[in-house]
């Protein structure tokens, strides 16, 4: 019995370290990825968005077959992957 408790006691710092890493790093990252995916699915024509590269524009066309969208900017219309749209930056833009 003492051998088992000694072994568990040896590995307890590693177990604790894994739990801390999971709750402070991995779980929040998975939550952000889920929010970005939902945002990409829920966008509609007329929404003002910002891409991850910083381009501002308005959605004028959505293509569900290849998950792209056409954004109208000051320079014209540009086709982007939906995954290149930033949920966080677009929320800040629309909050103004």
pLDDT digits (tens, 9 = 90+) for 43-62: 999 999 999 999 999 999 99
Residue 3 has pLDDT above 70, yes or no: no
Classify domain 2-95 at the CATH topology level. SH3 type barrels. (2.30.30)
For residue 34, give every residue at least 6 positions away whose Cβ sits within 8 Å of its Cβ, in sequence order, or none.
none
Percent of the chain topping pLDDT 90: 54
Chain length of the chain: 96
Residue 28 has pLDDT above 80, yes or no: yes
Question: What is the distance between the terminal CA atoms of the chain, rounded to a whole angstrom?
Answer: 63
Q: In what order do the strands lie in the sheet with 48-50?
A: 48-50, 56-63, 68-73, 76-81
Give the residue, 87 or 71, on which the prediction is more confident.
71
Phi, psi (rounded to 5 degrees) for 32: -65, -40
| Sign of the four-CA dihedral 22, 26, 27, 28 | positive
Residue 86 has pLDDT above 70, yes or no: yes
Give the residue, 43 or 5, on which the prediction is more confident.
43
Residue 70 has pLDDT above 90, yes or no: yes
Two tokens at 21?
């890493």
Residue 89 has pLDDT above 60, yes or no: yes
Work out the mean pLDDT of the chain and round it to a whole number. 88
């Amino acid at each position: 019995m003492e051998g088992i408790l000694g072994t568990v006691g040896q590995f307890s710092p590693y177990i604790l370290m894994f739990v801390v890493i999971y709750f402070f790093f991995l779980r929040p990252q998975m939550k952000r990825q889920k929010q970005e995916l939902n945002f990409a699915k829920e966008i509609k024509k007329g929404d003002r968005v910002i891409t991850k590269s910083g381009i501002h524009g308005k959605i004028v066309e959505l293509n569900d077959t290849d998950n792209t969208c056409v954004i109208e900017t000051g320079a014209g219309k540009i086709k982007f992957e939906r995954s290149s749209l930033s949920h966080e930056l677009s929320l800040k833009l629309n909050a103004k």
